Structure 1
Amino acid sequence: MIPASPDGVPRALAGSSGITRRHRRVSMADVARAAGVSAQTVSRVSTGHPGVVASTRQQVLAAMQQLGYRPNSAARALKNGEFRTIGVIIFTLSTTGNSRLIEAIATHASRAGYVITLMPVATPTQHGVLGAFTRLGELAVDAVIVVMEVHLLDAAMFVLPPGVHVVVVDSDAGDRYRVVDTDQADGARQAVQHLLDLGHHTVWHVAGPPESFAAERRATAWRCVLEGAGRPVPSMHRGDWSAESGYRAGLLLADEASCTAVFAGNDQMALGVLRALHEKQRIVPRDISVIGFDDIPDSASFIPPLTTIHQDFAEVGRRCVETALRQIRNQPVEPGTSLVPNRLVTRASTATPRTA
């Protein structure tokens, strides 16, 4: 234990000047004196340097704890040229996919000894993204992950400032930046093919918003599978990822006598479709099969439990952080797209049509 003076202040900090740790920040020199080691040893312990004897490390850590010492991360960053912070630019946190992705990025960054700084952008414009980069630069980050899930409103091409360590998620910027995404097209192909394999003549689609890269890829794959199988392509219904928009589409689909199968662009819209079909007394899956996309945690609790496409957001987050760290460490990272596979999760909302 480090001895204390009668007023309870550690002797290492008590002196004729009357200064206590309530009046000034505890310094590395204070810790060194209290632990009986050099300031260099304290520095090595605070940075996690392996070349410190275990007993000495414990002695220094005990002194840090008792004195309330907090390493000056800003000063260390200036010295080492590394802030151990990754910035994340995102347009919305309201979707389940984005929330789960941010959780995955934060988790894997923490495991690597990094923290994230989240920078929401209210309007999806090039100007908004560049403004976010400027603010992140002021906050001193080592790399930036851009969740670019929608087309920019004011730019035909997505361009970032040069010399920045960048990873992009869910974008069409594959020839200029490193992009990480789940295989949206293959996931949609699995969904539509599952329904065709059950015997459905064709598949109706409730798509996400037209500005979304993911919605665009899923809708294109839906159409290609039907055309490739020589099946008719029904009119597409547009939603906005919300259950309410799925509900509105579901009310229209319930009145389509030839509709026996629906591929919803995400699980939330599928939930709305299920509600609409229930209200219209169309039984799922006896009358109409429904499949979603995302495999959100609640999808197994829908009535009936939802057949869906599972997206591995944890793996997307891991690859994003790993790619950012490779750039920070000056390891080679080539532009291009890294796709995480999706998989079909079969539950009770899909079945062979009664007419098959």
Structure 2
Amino acid sequence: MEHSPHGRPPGRPPVIADVARVAGVSVPTVSRVLTGSTPVRDKTRQLVMDAIRELGYRPNEAARALVRGRQSMIGVITSNTTRFGYATTIQGIEEAARAVGLLVAITVVDSESEADVKIAVDLMLGQPLAGVIVLDFDRQGEQALLALPETLPIAAVTSTREGRPVRRILFDDRSGGREATNYLLALGHRTVHHVAVPGTGRPSGRMEGWQEALRTAGAVVPEVIDTDWTAQSGFEAGLLLAERPGLTAVLCGNDEIAFGVMKALQTRGLSVPGDVSVVGFDDHPHASLWSPPLTTMAQDFVQLGAASLRSLLADGREPTEDPATPSLHLVVRESTAPPRI
């Protein structure tokens, strides 16, 4: 495809990213020049204005709304919109935003590539944003959080206090992993195996809680099996687990994984919970309908999303921490039982 002298495909009108490239500055710097929200050096401002004239760039309605001070939209950055925890957190954000007259714009970052993350963030910065909420559940969320400009109000829904200093709405899946593991040990299981969800470059909180509980009890810590969040990956993990001698209990990183693990164990002739007890995480709507009904750690993701919106809109921009999910609790159903003697 041919490009204009400025590297832009022919026929496409210039966008803010083109202005930034020609001026040799960042997209947030161009936004600051256009909105007047933050002082910019005269030399930098002139570079941006020269690039605007050279390209014939016209600020879109979003930029004009920012200049008028009518920010009416909350941005949400996530790597997925279909998984239970992601979708219901977004539901909580949207319901809370609607209640105060704000729209929600969702940008999906489905790659860890720095270039892909930048494209997604730049696209969102073209909207009249009152602030951005990042679902920091995985590497994509962590990368997006680092790419956002400091001039924008930001909140992160996360299980860790580590990383960039922004408003953090914390869910304590570490204590959840510990509680679920201790429950299985109290039933009489000598150890608990773990099928893990992907982390954010570090182990998930639920994995760390599982390890802590086993080490505190003096139990063997089995090798972790990693998955990709899906029931299919859980099924494949379950086939591996079925070959492990002495297997009597499994903690899964989420309920979809647990569904797959249970199915795999059953195809290998193992009963749940007769031979193997299985615990999930999140309390998916299907958990109570599974066969057998799944014991799981329940989290209120809708509450988590609503808390993130409240935190984002609170006065001031100083980093804060909000332990937003005190309702995290174990729901005992029929997938767990004492081990056979």
TM-score normalised over the length of structure 2: 0.75
Superposition deviation, residue 161 in structure 1: 1.1
Report if aligned partners of 2:198, 2:229 keep a CA contact under 8 Å in 1.
Answer: yes
Residue 86 of structure 2 is matched in structure 1 by: 98
TM-aligned CA distance change 1:111 to 1:210, over 3 Å: closer
TM-aligned CA distance change 1:105 to 1:205, over 3 Å: same
* 1:196 and 2:185 matched: yes
Superposition deviation, residue 337 in structure 1: 3.1
Which amino acid letter does the alignment assign opposite residue 322 of structure 2?
S
TM-aligned CA distance change 1:108 to 1:285, over 3 Å: same
* 1:332 and 2:316 matched: yes
Report if aligned partners of 1:209, 1:241 keep a CA contact under 8 Å in 2.
Answer: yes
Report if aligned partners of 1:87, 1:117 keep a CA contact under 8 Å in 2.
Answer: yes
Match of 1:322, SS state, is helix
Which amino acid letter does the alignment assign opposite residue 192 of structure 1?
T
Once the two structures are superposed, the pairs formed by residues 200-211 of structure 1 within 5 Å of their partners are 200-211=189-200
* 1:346 and 2:297 matched: no
TM-score normalised over the length of structure 1: 0.72
- Supply the distance in 2 between the matched residues of 1:154 and 1:188 (Cα, whole angstroms): 22
The structure whose Rg is larger is 1
Q: Which runs of 4+ in 1 moved over 6 A?
A: 73-76, 153-157
- Supply the distance in 1 between the matched residues of 2:196 and 2:165 (Cα, whole angstroms): 28
May I ask how many residue pairs the two structures share in their alignment? 278
- Supply the distance in 2 between the matched residues of 1:74 and 1:235 (Cα, whole angstroms): 50
Residue 77 of structure 2 is matched in structure 1 by: 89
Superposition deviation, residue 252 in structure 1: 2.0
Residue 226 of structure 2 is matched in structure 1 by: 238
RMSD (Å), alpha carbons: 2.6
Report if aligned partners of 1:126, 1:152 keep a CA contact under 8 Å in 2.
Answer: no
Once the two structures are superposed, the pairs formed by residues 128-207 of structure 1 within 5 Å of their partners are 128-151=116-139, 158-170=146-158, 172=160, 173=162, 176-207=165-196
- Supply the distance in 2 between the matched residues of 1:82 and 1:192 (Cα, whole angstroms): 49
- Supply the distance in 2 between the matched residues of 1:81 and 1:287 (Cα, whole angstroms): 63
Superposition deviation, residue 196 in structure 1: 0.7
Match of 1:113, SS state, is coil
Report if aligned partners of 1:174, 1:337 keep a CA contact under 8 Å in 2.
Answer: no
Unaligned stretches of 5+ in structure 1? 1-72
Once the two structures are superposed, the pairs formed by residues 117-128 of structure 1 within 5 Å of their partners are 117-128=105-116
Unaligned stretches of 5+ in structure 2? 1-60
- Supply the distance in 2 between the matched residues of 1:207 and 1:274 (Cα, whole angstroms): 15
- Per-residue displacement from partner, 1:136-164 (whole Å, max 9, x unpaired)? 23221111111122225997993531210
Report if aligned partners of 1:91, 1:124 keep a CA contact under 8 Å in 2.
Answer: no
Superposition deviation, residue 319 in structure 1: 0.8
Residue 33 of structure 1 is matched in structure 2 by: none
Report if aligned partners of 1:200, 1:261 keep a CA contact under 8 Å in 2.
Answer: yes
User: Which residue of 247, 250, 260 corresponds with 1:262?
Assistant: 250
Residue 260 of structure 2 is matched in structure 1 by: 272
Which amino acid letter does the alignment assign opposite residue 70 of structure 2?
E
- Supply the distance in 1 between the matched residues of 2:141 and 2:311 (Cα, whole angstroms): 28
